[in-house]
Structure formats: structure tokens, C-alpha cells
Structure 1
Amino acid sequence: MGVRGLQGFVGSTCPHICTVVNIQELAENHRTKYPGCTPTIVVDAMCCLRYWYTPESWICGGQWREYFSALRDFVAAFTSAGIKLIFFFDGMVEPGKRDEWVKRRLKNNREISKIFHYIKSKREQPGRNMFFIPSGLAIFTRFALKSLGQETFCSLQEADYEVASYGLQHNCLGILGEDTDYLIYDTCPYFSIGDLCLETLETIMLCREKLCESLGLHVADLPLLACLLGNDITPEGMFESFRYKCLSSYASVKENAGKKGNIILAVSDYISRVLRLYQGEKKIEDMLPLGPNKALFYKGVAAYLLPGQTSPWLVQKSKGIITEKQVVNPESKQEVPMCLDPESKQEVPARTNPESMQEVPMCTDPESNQEASMCTDPESKQEASMCTDPESNQEASMCTDPESKQEVSIYTYPEVKQKLPSETGAEYNPEVLVCTPPEVKQEDAMDMEPEIKQVTMDSDSEILKVARMHHVHSESYLVYNIMSTGEIECSNTLEDELDQALPSQAFIYRPVRQRVYALLLGDWKDGARSGPVVKEWFVYPGNSLKHPDLVRPLQVTIQGRKPSLEVLWLSQEPAVQARRLDTLLACFNLSSSREDLQAVESPLRALCCLLIYIFVQVDTLSLEDLHAFIAQALCLQGKSTSQLMNVQRSWLTKFHNLKAVVCKACSKENRRIVGRTHWNSHYTGRLGRQGSSSHRTGSTHGHPGHGQPWRDQGPGGRQYEHDQWRRY
């Protein structure tokens, strides 16, 4: 989250809120005040990635050793001062925040387009003023910090809420991050990562008490102010007219505050002068233009309440609009404050205890349809039609997404030779909970009625608890979200939307993800012609992100009986390691190359799997590209910076061995990797990204999962437009 305009206001209008502090001195004072308690700082890791990643040559990424060294120095600086660090990473996008997430992804797309335009026009790398975080950096950072012995957590809800909760409940020295919401939460002190000097451990502390003094508010008023100004829950436009009404009647306009600064001052004045004056005597919705957004507004205020906290704006003394009660969290046995709106009869929880990691659904506004449930009314009727791509003979059923009321495509691949069922009811067994959206009526020649299932694991499932534990402790990524909600997302990557040679990674790796979905969610019953779907929010060129892509799992073919998740994750039997390898190869559809790959040492085996898969999927990659990938992997091993500057091909034998393994596996799939001297004539006339001739359409050697099934899928569930993507 983040409060609109607050960061600029603090810097320009209220600089006294920012105080230079020495964290080491604060830690010493903390030890004196709390003997036997180790001073602890909670780190919002997502806010720190730009601080940690400092290379000037950032556009290609890959400076892993330099980055790891920066992380090691960061940890060492605090450790030497006797300060413990706890790192939190974003682990999911809350349903109510999806619109804001989409808005930021589309904004990032525009920034990435500018980066590639600069490179093409200037023929040089952009400076740090155009810096964009390299792909996958957050995931790699988790494992890097764990290897440095640091305690890392992946959130089950909004990360800044869990950071603020942890800081409050564990009496932490402070929060290190760069998010104005840490000024709103009533928690421990907030330190700026952007102003941190690692050598001296000096930085800026932003004081919420001084902010309140400047605004004439109490700390308990700050959540109300944040919602009226606009944040990730209450859109900026919701109270725009109200803010300008406050500004027009504000008598103390400051010239140096600017327009946004004076709006903050005017709204604060309204809260302190008008709202607080009538609180207890007049309903808050009579004072504020809540309209149909009432439930969303109360949810926004409650979102800032940490465990055990209440808000004076959510309690009415007389015939109140809001009453407060306590609900016991069944796992932690702790009480969670709930706020009830008597008109909408909806409960707005003040969130949960992050230690118990128990999720509690937030309230739903029936008019704005915020945070709609995954399970929908089976009596509602939705129509679907079957369409076939004339080029690929690819069937894709179209249905209406009950959340967005828009048509989305359900992905099936030619390799899966399935047909959709005429009638299949929702099923429940002790292991899997099947939620069916509205029935989908089929009106084609076969008069079939496909079923679209959103499958999630039973919340009491032991394996789901294991997945949850792995997620929380940053030992896996996306797995728990798939199993618990059937929904995942992938943020922006550095991809040139105008590049006609390379497809998006979202399409390249979709078949792998689909096989993983089958492992996580379980196969559908034999004879059934429809499986579950997973909602994918993946950023790729041409995707408006108005709604998710609904993607079906692909059946996984593994030699022998397919192992369960319990076996793959928990078993220590020696034979299981071989089963894990079989499963990995099956996900990449490389079982036929098992013998050759098994002879490759680890971790180069994983490199070979990845290279084979990529080169089979994307035939615009050349032999020189393969040389570069392998050389980078080999030549960087055990080499210092000075050695790398003068490295020779001393590892030539190993280089050729790896090259041979990759080329042999690709040849089995009728993929001949050629040099660029042959490439120009070989690929003349190809249309490039997503075009009908730019990638291979399948295998002729009995492995139908290779080829480029992603090319036939179209740009996801968006409404098709008349552009280069229309070919789907």
C-alpha cells in the first residue's frame, strides 16, 4: 500500500518529521531499556531491492556475485552492531488489491518500452535514472539471504501489514523500508532504506507523532486520513470531489505546500475540526460521501488496524453505524477485532495475527463486487462457445469469468487430446475441494457443456499445511497460492514488446507450469474430459490484464506410478531422489533424454534441462546463443573478477560435452540448432513473436509436449483486438 502524495508532502512541507538517527546508538539504548532483548529491525525486503542492486551495467542483469557481496556486507554491518534482521517478502496479491497491482504493471510496461527505445536509438545502456529491477531478483534474494543465515518470511497477505504487525508484537527497534504506510500504522519507528549509510548506520527516521502534530491529528486518525487521500484499497478518485471541497473551504492555504500538500492539510483540518466534533452524534456516512463504497471505505480503515488495535472511527457510542465485537481465531486462539456494518451486514476484520499465519476473508461490497469469492452461484447461467483456430486446429472454450463478467479463454493443448464433458457436477473428497463457477452452456454441434473447475486443496489437508510452511519460510514460491486459491501472478520482465524474434516468457514456460499444476492439484478422474483451471495473472505484451488467463493443467507422464506430493517433498528414502529427477524431467517433457542428462553433474544438469527446453520452444535462438549460455555457466565457476578478464577456454572439453547433450536432446525433437550464418536464410520470411511461422508447432518424434503450444494460445483471456495478436 501507499498513501497518495504523502511522501512528497513530508519532504517538502514537513521536513521536521524526518530526523537523522544512528541506528547503532538506538540499538544500544534499546538494550539498556530492555535487558536481554536483542534489538531487531524488520526489513521490508521488496523496498530494499533497489538499494542492494547497485551495478551500473544493470540492463542484462547477471551480476550475481556483486549482488551477493552487497547483501553480505549489508547483513554484516547490522550483525557487527548487534542488531538482528528479519526480512519480509511479498507472497501474494490480495483480491482487493488486484486493480492497483494491474495499474502498476501497466505503468511498468510503459517504463520498459522507454528502456528498449533508448537502447535502440542510443545504442548504449540507460543510466540508473531508468533502472528497472532485473527479472527474478526478489526470488533469488530470498535464497541468498537464507544462505547468509538470515530469517526470511514470505507474506500470506499484504506484506507491509505483516511487517508492521511483527514490529509491534515483537517490540522491534524499527522498520526499514520505503513506504508511507509505515507512517500510518501505529507500530514501531520507521527508518528509510533510501537514506541509509551502511558505513555509519545513519538514516532518516520518519516520526508519525510529529506528522500528527503538524496536521492537528491523533495517531488513531491517520488510517482515516490515508483512506480519504487514497491508497491501494480506496482508489484515489473515490474521494476526489470531497478533497477539493475541503480545499475550497480551507482558510490556511500554504504557498510552499503545493496543490497536493494543501489538499492533505485541508483534509486533515476537516477531520480534526468537523468529523471529530460531531463524532458520536452524527453518522460518519452523513459526514462523508461514502455512497456505494461504504464497505470498501470501512475495509480500508480497518486494514491499518494491527492485532489488538481499534479505531475511534469504527465505533459509534449511540445508535452507531459500526459496532465492534471480538472473533476468536481458531488456530491461534487469539481474538481478532471485527467491525460490523449493520446496514450491509458485513464484517470487516482488523486483520489477523501474522504469527498464526491465519487468513481471514475481508468484507465484500455487494455493489462494487470487491473480493469476490472463488466459488460462485451454480444456479447462475453463463453461456460459452467453442472456437477453433483454423491454423492450429486448437480448441479453446470461451466462458464468462464470474468476477470480471468478461469472456476468457480456457487453454487446452493439441497434445492433451481431451474433450470437454457434457455434465459433471462439483465433487468433494477429503483431499480436494472443488468449487464450480456458474454452469457453462455449450451451443455447438456436439451440444456439450464444459465444466470449469477452480480447484483448491482442503484447508485441513496436511500437504497444504506443508506447502503453507514452505511458503511462509521462503522455501518455495507460488506453490501455496496455486494449492490454496488456484491463482498466481507474474510481474513485469524486461521484454521488448516490439521484438518480433522472441516470444514472451509467459508463453514459453506455460506448458511447464501446466504440468506442475497437475502435480499440485491432482489429475482429474479417468474418463473425465475436463480438468481444473488456474487463474494466471501474467504480464506479457498485448495483455491488458483486465481479467486472468484460465489455464488447465496438463497430464504428466512419469515412468512408473506418479509420486504423491508427500513422497516428493517429505520422504527421505534414497530411491525418492531418482523419482524427483523423473518428475523434474517429466515437467520439462525431457524423459526421453534421462540417460544423457543423468550423466551430467549437478547443477549443470538443471542448466541442460533449461537450455534444451528453451531451444526446442524457441527456434529463433542460434548456435551462438547456445555457446554463450554454456560458456557463461562454465567460465564463471570459481573465477575472480581479475581472472574472468583473462579467461581462456581451459574448460573446452566440458563445454563440448554440455553442448553435445543439449544438441542431441533437441535433435530428438526435430530441432536442429544452427549458426547465424545459416540462420538468415533458414528463417527468412518468419513473422516473429506469436506469428504463424515463427516457431515450431509440435514434435514428430512421439513427444507432443515440445514444440510451441504457447503460440496457439493467444494473448490470454483478454478481448481480442485487430492487431498482430489477432492471428490466434
Structure 2
Amino acid sequence: MGVRGLQGFVGSSCPHVCAAVDLRELAERHRSERPGCAPTVVVDAMCCLRYWYTPESWVCGGQWKEYFCVLRDFVGTFAAAGIKLVFFFDGTVEQDKREEWVRRRLKNSREIARVFQYVKAHGQQPSRSMFLIPSGLALFTRFALKALGQDTRCTLQEADREVAAYGLRNACLGVLGEDTDYLVYDTCPYFSISELCLDSLTTVMLCRQRLCASLGLGLPDLPLLACLLGNDIVPQGMFEAFRYRCLSAHAAGSEGCDRRGGVVLAVADHIAKVLRSHRGEKKLEEMLPLGPNKALFYKAMASYLLPGQKSPWISQKPKAVTTLDKQEVPGSSDPECKQEVPVSSDTESKQDIPMNIEPETKQPVTMVSDPEILQVARAHHVQADSYLVYNVMTSGEVECSNTLEDALDQALPSQAFVYRPVRQRVYSLLLADGRGGPGSCPPVREWFVYAGNPLRHPDLVRPLPMTVPGGTPSLKQLWLSREPGAQARRVDTLFACLDLSSCREELQALESPFRALCCLLVYLFVQVDTLGLEDLHAFIAQALCLQGKSAGQLAGLQLDHIDPRAVQLGSLLVRGLTTLVLVNSACGFPWEASELVPWAVFDGKLFHEKYLQSEKGCPAEALVEQNRSRLTQFHHLKSVVCKACLTEDRRIVSRQLWRPHPTGRWGRQGPGSRRTSSGHSRSGQGQHWGDQGPGNRQQEPDPWRRHAPSSGWSN
């Protein structure tokens, strides 16, 4: 994340760049200097997730009630000091950063494999040194902050630029995050989240002026330095040889600096002494080994320039959208300011940027052409109300990060495949509007992490037809209509996306928040035959017991041991909740967001406790902790789920009856089966997940093939 090597250099070789600050004192000074203007800290929320997630347990699927309390305390502390917070979340992965995104996801996959190895060997959660944030944490942090009344936004590009632009435009107190890119942006002060002491509201400010003084550079030189050192856009090896030559030349005249710090100093010295001296005589690409990457390099430098800022290293003024390598490069998503790189006033640099393709203005290409619908989707996206909908409708590309899944357990499928049929129906709803049906829609490019996927290419996933009673409504009917019956149509469409229309009445009649949970459980148990009655008991019992437990009580729970299968089941359920958020967003929000958040229906450690009890054969009375009211609810919810599954020809039985676990078979085969194992929806137009492996184009499903999960994971 950020500029490679810069964080280590500041910490080891340039510590005076870091200065301790008291945010309360800074806020008081801000109020005295700007009466009537509330001191504001703009937060790069993605950088803060690890800082916020302090519950001891993390491997079981997330301690969501505890986490919500942590966030409540965080925002309450700032509010008590009179400091306003504005939170920004990444809304997409930019194409230029896809390679870096893939590298991190593959690294996380290796870390997850080690976590499961540890759990199997020791029966316990690994130490914090192996910590991985629970699945869905970024999405549900947005929902938690909004529930706490915070100004929460989702970006139309990666967050760092929008955070920096907001901080500069609004004269914010500072940016709170953990990304050395904020040392490069010429914006408001940069505060470290990792050094924040919440009790005293003190932290460390990283001063870019001090950094420049130490390196002999000016603020406008920092973007060039960042690109030469390497960042999320410039490939890691692009300037490796150049940095080595700089280091060799610099080492001859310096001593006492480690190699990592030496590289930063050497490149900065080269900029100050060599590149500056020839800037008026030669173009930058003549002094650097840019080769075929020069357009990418200049774009990376320009990405650090905020509206109204200039660079002595870039002389041309690109228009809002530049075509590079036949890809659309969007300008700033800020509606008040278009991205631009102004012409430098430096008379020594009047050369044009040496791009292979001339800049040209183009309208962004989207998958949906209705401007009114796109405007609504954009508004919900920016306001952090929806999930993936705007990405599907504009770029036709979505991604999902790592999930705690055991690659060696073939009896449980990856969430990427379990919920794919739901996503396919959502794609049909979003993209087939006005097209004449899903068959005319292009496939959606999915970057989903699962075992065996090298992420060299996206999976091409085609929309899947669905049946809504009374016909599929248009997006305008779902999103904009206020007519009587509109809400019922939204609910009908939601159940159709889950392919649960036949059980709609019974499930819709359940009280909140158990309605959403039971819908999810019916879907899961119909899809995955390796789930048994013990699993259902554990899911229902923990949801009921959760209602009467405080965050402190949940924190105090102690588990005898950790079961790797229960670890994966916890993550599978939470990913199901994120899928419900997608469905609810696409259908016009028929359900309240409060029904879909995990702290309402799930606690990882509590689920684990109930799972272990259920596996031992504990009766329902023990699972609900001898509470008569809960016992009545338990039997009612279990009955609704089991009956709904029976209507789909799925009878839930005890896992004790068919142990050992079946290997490789996670959905039933047979005539009329509509689950992902056979590749068929009820309409017979589904697609087997094994036929949509990494980078494969769409293929017709073979209803006679029987697939083990491993067949879909080899490339």
C-alpha cells in the first residue's frame, strides 16, 4: 500500500518527519482561526479496519456486536472533542491497480492456508500475528457508521485521491489513515491511525515538508519520487535497474544508511542533482528508462495532483478522460471538480507529455444506458447505501476479496460458487432492463477469490433468467415507483433473486431480524447438501441467544476448541449476508438495512459454541440456554426453514446419519435439481460452476456431468 519503502525509510532513517500531536489542541486552534467552521478529520476507512477490529476472536467469523461497540466508542470520542469525522471507503478497484490487488489476494490466500493448518494442528485460534480481518468487514463497517449517524461515503475510484481532494477542498484538520501516498499528496496534514491513542486523542503527524527538507526536494517533486520508488500503479520491477544504478552512485559518496533507506535517498538525490539540471533541455522520458510504460508512468504521476495543482514534471493539460491502451481512464469522481493536470508555469518545461495516443474526451462507456437509473445507482453508491450495483451497471466488473475458506475441505464449497446463482439473477435484473432478456446481456467479469483461482483473468459470468410473479418489473418500477403495490413488487423480486418465490409468504411473515436469516438459511441448505440438521440448529440457536447478550458477555465466552469446519461455516454465512445486501440494493431496498447486518443475527464465537454443542448432540433446550421463549422460537424457525427446503425437494437430516462426510459432493444431482451442483436453475438455464473457471468464456452446461469441487479449481 502506498509508496514502496517510504514508510520504513521514515521510521528508521528520518524519524523527525513524525511529530506527536494532540488532536484536541489542534481542533481548538482550528475553531479559533475559523469561527463557525467545525474542525473535520477525513478518514480513509479502509486503512483503519485493522485498528478498529480489536475483539480478541477473529477466526470464527467476526465478533460483530463487540465491533459495533468499538466503532461507537471511536466516533463518540471524536464527537466529544467537537471533531467531525467524514469516512471514505473504496468503491472499486481501478484497472491500473488490478495487478497489485491480485498480488495481495494471492498473498492472503497463502496466509489463510496457514491459519487452517494451525487450527487443525492446535484446535485453537492463531495469535494476532496471523490476524486476518473477518469477511465482509469493510461493507458492514459502512453500515455501522451510517447507523451511528456518521457522514459515510463510497468512492467511484480508490479512496486515497478522493480523501486527499476532500481534505484540501474543505481545509480539514487532517487525513487519518495509514498510507504513505498521503505523504505525497499536497493536501491537509496526515495523521497516523496506527499511532492513535483514543483516550488522549494523540497521534503522530507525518510532515511532508520535513520529508522534503531531508531529501532535498520540493513538494512538487514527491509524485515523481513516489513513481520511481514504485507504488500501486507503477509495477514493482519497472525501475528496479534504475534504482540500483542510483544506489550504486549514491553509495560511493555516503555512509551509515541501510539499503532500503539508501534507495530512497539515492533516488531523491538523482532527482535533485541530475533530473532537475536537465529538465529544460530534455524530456523526462529521455532521462528515464520509461520504454513502453511511459503513458502509465505519467498517469501515475498525474494521479497525485489534486484539482488546481501543478507539476514541473508534467507540462500537458490532459482532458477529463484519457484513452490509454484502449482503456477508459475516468477523471475525478468529485462532481465539483474534474481531474486535470494544469500546464506548468515553469518556462523550462514546455514539452508535451510523450503519449502514444493523443488525449481525447469520451463519454464513459456503461452497461446501462438509462441516465436516470444510472444517476440513482450512483447516488446510492456514493452514499454507501448499496453494494456492487453501480459497478455492475457501469463497468460490468465486480470483485470480492478473500474469505476464510479451507482449500483442502472439498465437502464445503467456496462462497464464490454458492452465491453465484443469486448474483447471476441480480445481473439479469440490472442489465436486462430494456434489452429484451438476459440472453442479450454481456457477461459480468467477476474477480472472486477461491481455491485454485490464479486470478490471471476474471470469470465471465452470464446473467441468469428468473421468474417474478406477475413478470419482472423494470428498474424504474423498483427504484422510483411510489404507487400502491410497489413495495410488494420489490419483495417479490427479492425472493425471485433468491429463487425462493414458492416460500415467500411463510418467510416474509417472520419477524425481523430472523426473516433475512431464515431466507439465507433456506437458500444455503437447498444449495449445499453437506449441511445437516446440526448446522441448522447451531445457526438458529446462536441467532436467538444473541438477542439477549451484551458485547461484554460475548467477549467473555470461552471455547473448548476451534473446529475448522465451523470456521468456514461462519464466513459462509457472513458472505451470505453481503449477498443479501446486494439483492436488497438491486430490488429497491424492500428490507431495512438493520435486518441484514451481522450484529443483528450472528456472532462468530457464539455460533462456534452452539456448533460444538450441537455436534455433541445437545438438545434444543440446552442450545437455547433453557429459555422457554427462545425454545418456542427455535422450533418455529426450524419448522419454517425445514418446510421451505422440502418444497425445494431438500430434506434436512442429521449429519450423523451419513458420516463420514461425502467428499467432493456438495449439491444433489438428479432430475429437476436446480442447484449449482447440477448446473441448472429451475428454468434449466443455469450454469455449472466448474464451467466458469478462471478466465473461461461461457460454456453450455452438461447436465450429465458430475463434478467434485476440485474439478473447478484446477486451471
Alignment TM class, shorter chain as reference: 0.7 to 0.9
Q: CA deviation at 1:566?
A: 1.8
Counterpart-to-counterpart distance in 1, 2:57 and 2:187: 38
Structure 1 residues 42, 169: CA separation in 2 closer, same or farther (over 3 Å shift)?
Answer: same
Counterpart-to-counterpart distance in 2, 1:86 and 1:305: 21
The TM-score, its normalising length taken from structure 1, stands at: 0.79
Structure 1 residues 541, 230: CA separation in 2 closer, same or farther (over 3 Å shift)?
Answer: same
- Which of 639, 642, 645 lines up with 1:663 in the alignment? 642
Indicate the structure with greater helix content.
2
Whether 1:616 aligns to 2:526 is yes
Residue in 1 that maps onto 2:681 = 705
Give the secondary-structure state (helix, strand or coil) at the position aligned to 2:367. Answer: strand
Structure 1 residues 321-720: aligned runs within 5 Å: 323-324=316-317, 327=319, 351-352=331-332, 354-356=334-336, 456-458=367-369, 461-522=371-432, 530-640=440-550, 647-650=625-628, 651-680=630-659, 686-688=662-664, 693-697=665-669, 700=672, 705=681, 710-717=688-695
Give the secondary-structure state (helix, strand or coil) at the position aligned to 1:242. Answer: helix
Q: CA deviation at 1:306?
A: 0.4
Residue in 1 that maps onto 2:582 = none
Counterpart-to-counterpart distance in 1, 2:645 and 2:196: 50
Give the secondary-structure state (helix, strand or coil) at the position aligned to 1:250. Answer: helix
Give the secondary-structure state (helix, strand or coil) at the position aligned to 2:531. Answer: coil
Tell me if the contact between 2:298 and 2:353 (Cα under 8 Å) persists in the aligned partners.
no
Structure 1 residues 188, 680: CA separation in 2 closer, same or farther (over 3 Å shift)?
Answer: same
Structure 1 residues 36-47: aligned runs within 5 Å: 36-47=36-47
RMSD: 3.3
Tell me if the contact between 1:45 and 1:89 (Cα under 8 Å) persists in the aligned partners.
yes
Q: CA deviation at 1:528?
A: 8.9
Instruction: State the structure with bigger RCO (CA 8 A, min sep 6), 1 or 2.
Output: 2
Give the secondary-structure state (helix, strand or coil) at the position aligned to 2:71. Answer: helix
Counterpart-to-counterpart distance in 1, 2:231 and 2:100: 9
Structure 1 residues 364, 519: CA separation in 2 closer, same or farther (over 3 Å shift)?
Answer: farther
Give the secondary-structure state (helix, strand or coil) at the position aligned to 2:640. Answer: helix
Structure 1 residues 168, 123: CA separation in 2 closer, same or farther (over 3 Å shift)?
Answer: same
Q: CA deviation at 1:349?
A: 8.6
Residue in 2 that maps onto 1:410 = none
Tell me if the contact between 1:302 and 1:349 (Cα under 8 Å) persists in the aligned partners.
no
Tell me if the contact between 2:425 and 2:464 (Cα under 8 Å) persists in the aligned partners.
yes
Counterpart-to-counterpart distance in 1, 2:552 and 2:362: 55
Structure 1 residues 502, 569: CA separation in 2 closer, same or farther (over 3 Å shift)?
Answer: same
Structure 1 residues 640, 353: CA separation in 2 closer, same or farther (over 3 Å shift)?
Answer: closer
Letter in 2 for 1:715: G
Residue in 1 that maps onto 2:203 = 203
Q: CA deviation at 1:61?
A: 2.8
Residue in 1 that maps onto 2:611 = none
Alpha-carbon displacement from aligned partner over 1:595-623 (angstroms, at most 9, x marks no partner): 22132123211111100110111111110
Letter in 2 for 1:11: G
Q: CA deviation at 1:195?
A: 0.5
Q: CA deviation at 1:300?
A: 1.0
Structure 1 residues 256, 73: CA separation in 2 closer, same or farther (over 3 Å shift)?
Answer: farther
Q: CA deviation at 1:67?
A: 0.6
Structure 1 residues 339, 513: CA separation in 2 closer, same or farther (over 3 Å shift)?
Answer: closer
Residue in 1 that maps onto 2:598 = none
Give the secondary-structure state (helix, strand or coil) at the position aligned to 1:31. Answer: helix
Counterpart-to-counterpart distance in 2, 1:554 and 1:471: 24
Q: CA deviation at 1:292?
A: 1.2
Unaligned stretches of 5+ residues in structure 1: 316-322, 328-335, 376-432, 436-454
Q: CA deviation at 1:96?
A: 1.2
The TM-score, its normalising length taken from structure 2, stands at: 0.81
Residue in 2 that maps onto 1:444 = none
Q: CA deviation at 1:354?
A: 1.9
| Deviating 4+ runs (over 6 angstroms) | 344-350, 357-361, 363-367, 642-646
Alpha-carbon displacement from aligned partner over 1:280-316 (angstroms, at most 9, x marks no partner): 122212211111111111111101000111100012x
Alpha-carbon displacement from aligned partner over 1:496-533 (angstroms, at most 9, x marks no partner): 11112110000000000000001111258669955321
Q: CA deviation at 1:555?
A: 1.0
Tell me if the contact between 1:304 and 1:350 (Cα under 8 Å) persists in the aligned partners.
no
Counterpart-to-counterpart distance in 1, 2:355 and 2:338: 25
Indicate the structure with greater strand content.
1
Letter in 2 for 1:266: A
Counterpart-to-counterpart distance in 2, 1:304 and 1:359: 10
Give the secondary-structure state (helix, strand or coil) at the position aligned to 2:711. Answer: helix
Unaligned stretches of 5+ residues in structure 2: 342-351, 558-623, 700-707
Give the secondary-structure state (helix, strand or coil) at the position aligned to 2:238. Answer: helix
Counterpart-to-counterpart distance in 2, 1:155 and 1:654: 41
Q: CA deviation at 1:31?
A: 1.1
Counterpart-to-counterpart distance in 2, 1:374 and 1:592: 46
Letter in 1 for 2:332: T
Residue in 1 that maps onto 2:237 = 237
Q: CA deviation at 1:580?
A: 1.4
Residue in 1 that maps onto 2:86 = 86
Tell me if the contact between 1:669 and 1:700 (Cα under 8 Å) persists in the aligned partners.
no
Counterpart-to-counterpart distance in 2, 1:45 and 1:124: 30
Alpha-carbon displacement from aligned partner over 1:221-268 (angstroms, at most 9, x marks no partner): 000000000011111210111111111111566655321110110000
Tell me if the contact between 1:296 and 1:364 (Cα under 8 Å) persists in the aligned partners.
no
Question: Percent of counterpart pairs with the same letter?
Answer: 61
